[in-house]
Structure 1
């Protein structure tokens, strides 16, 4: 009952939109341009072996590697900027500037540098996911209660103890907010990288189906990408609840 009370309206809206889509696609009558949801599900079932065995693992590898690198470098840089004013003045403008460059324009350059290897897609994913993790974690560290820090200092706490007891717990909610944004963007980054230059992956397969005028085949891997993004988001939510029981995350 709690599930229906919380998500009932959203589920109802999704079903309504799917019915409208199905009806509109049937009336339009050109499935190679606008396939219906039923056509897409049927095509997804027909392509299940090649998608799940060959292309989904390739995309998932790009996403996980990109997220891992963004976590390591993003969280590390945010802590470094928090601890050093010189580092903050040097790197923070560059972090902001990195988001003003269209990633889709850089992706072909990465393909030129790294070829069709996994790294060209990983770099695109990192470039997209690095920003929300870095900025949110940095803001979280700066949001620590200064009065609480001063009290611990008067009690003889070291800088490391203040970081672990005050600054890190204060940054965790912001960190997870950035991570939830990053995991959804990582799917987009991987798809963009595969779309522009790859020999495997869901984005690559969608582009290949487009050249064959297979509308349902184009949408089938997109459905998997969407489900993958939702699954990653839910995993982060579960991790957030486990690590932040004191916050009573709903």
Structure 2
């Protein structure tokens, strides 16, 4: 597996290295002020030197992202199961779910602060709102893609709705569910940063606000680096869990 990862990953890694070299060279060649666009070496230096200034902000964002992701995932899976098992409820609620995603979070978040204050609750609501939708939609699609032939066969064999759900529909929906979870994992970091922009005393979003207001563009890029890294780590972790869970589910079916 590691060999396959290296075989597939060396090309994007090479492109990234070339972009960094071009960025560094252009910054030095055209003497771009660092407060406008710092070179990668300055960003790397700030990443190392400034660790004591932002490590608690990074930890706060990780905690908020994980808690919000767990809540959002639970809500998304629960909503998907309810809408799948109750067709009337799906017909009534599904259009409202689509409409809810047309409301920009950056506009809704200040209202949540007004309603619930500057505590952790409005932040968790923001993350939940950005996480649950892709999970709900992906899981519903997984349920709909269940083989009709197998469903009909289990009905003929005398299986009840509970057995059909846990033995057929749920295992078949797992790949789609994990697709939604991986999307939501990256959204959870974005939601945490957005909520920290609007009102917080710590976190990467708060750190970015302070850095941009003081024209420390290198620190802004450090924050962006950690946001991207966290998103990739969450995505990779869920991909690993997906392989284990789907494989175990397939073995049980056999």
TM-score (norm 2): 0.93
The alpha carbon displacement at 1:186 in A equals: 1.1
Task: Look up the match of 1:49.
Answer: 52
Distance 1:25 1:232 in 2: 32
CA 1:69–1:213: 2 relative to 1, 3 Å: same
Distance 1:88 1:222 in 2: 38
Distance 1:91 1:232 in 2: 30
**Is the 8 Å Cα contact of residues 116 and 199 (structure 1) preserved in structure 2?**
no
**Which of 135, 152, 168 is the matching residue for 2:137?**
135
**Unmatched runs of 5 consecutive residues or more in structure 1:** none
Task: Look up the match of 1:37.
Answer: 40
Alignment of 1:89-100 (within 5 A): 89-100=91-102
Alignment of 1:79-228 (within 5 A): 79-228=81-230
**Unmatched runs of 5 consecutive residues or more in structure 2:** none
- 1:174 alignment partner, SS class: helix
The alpha carbon displacement at 1:61 in A equals: 1.7
- 2:159 alignment partner, SS class: coil
CA 1:101–1:42: 2 relative to 1, 3 Å: same
The alpha carbon displacement at 1:134 in A equals: 0.5
Distance 2:41 2:113 in 1: 36
Distance 2:21 2:155 in 1: 62
| 1:2 equivalenced with 2:15 (yes/no) | no
Distance 2:114 2:72 in 1: 22
Ranges of 4+ aligned residues in structure 1 off by more than 4 Å: none
1:44-100 deviations in whole A, cap 9, x for unaligned?
Answer: 112212322x21121112111211111111111111111112210221111111110
**Is the 8 Å Cα contact of residues 128 and 189 (structure 1) preserved in structure 2?**
yes
1:181-219 deviations in whole A, cap 9, x for unaligned?
Answer: 111111111111111221110011011011111111111
Distance 2:232 2:198 in 1: 24
TM-score (norm 1): 0.94
**Is the 8 Å Cα contact of residues 144 and 167 (structure 1) preserved in structure 2?**
yes
The alpha carbon displacement at 1:116 in A equals: 2.1
Distance 2:97 2:26 in 1: 44
RMSD: 1.5
